[in-house]
Amino acid sequence: MRKVACLMLFAMCVPALAQEMEPGEWEFVTSMSAPGMPQAQTFTNKRCVTAKDSDPSRWADKQQASDCKVSPSKKSGGTYTWEVSCPSTGMRGTGTARITRSTVDSELRLAAGMGGQKFEMLTKTTGKRLGACPK
């Protein structure tokens, strides 16, 4: 489950890669669902997005804490896609984020075979800029 938590954080952080995002205070709402879960788990996170947050090299360093490798696939306009591979858990997946200066809409689909059981998870994140960062 620790890897799943890291990947959920990844889904919330990916939007920070986009240089089109306007710096300021942002609110991200993330919903995680999987077959067998009685209902989706929803998390809300507010954070100050700075101009530095758009530097992919800084972001990639944070991901080294897990064995998951994130490979950017394509950027087209305000849409970004990527692939995720986590060798120790066998998890693999794909993600898409649509980003404007004031909104984010992303989706991460993960699948793995754990103990002979197939595991799938869908994480959706929406974000909106609230205004300037609090002082």
**Digit-coded pLDDT (tens) for 1-24:** 444 444 444 444 444 444 478 899
**Digit-coded pLDDT (tens) for 83-126:** 988 888 888 999 999 988 899 999 999 998 767 778 899 999 99
Does 56 score more than 80 pLDDT? no
pLDDT of 48: 92
Reported pTM? 0.75
pLDDT of 27: 96
The three state secondary structure string of the chain is CHHHHHHHHHHHHHHHHCCCCCCEEEEEEEEEECCCCCCCEEEEEEEEECHHHHCHHHHHHHHHHCCCEEEEEEEECCEEEEEEEECCCCEEEEEEEEECCCEEEEEEEEEEEECCEEEEEEEEEEEEEEECCCC
Confidence of residue 54 (pLDDT cuts 50, 70, 90): low
pLDDT of 89: 81
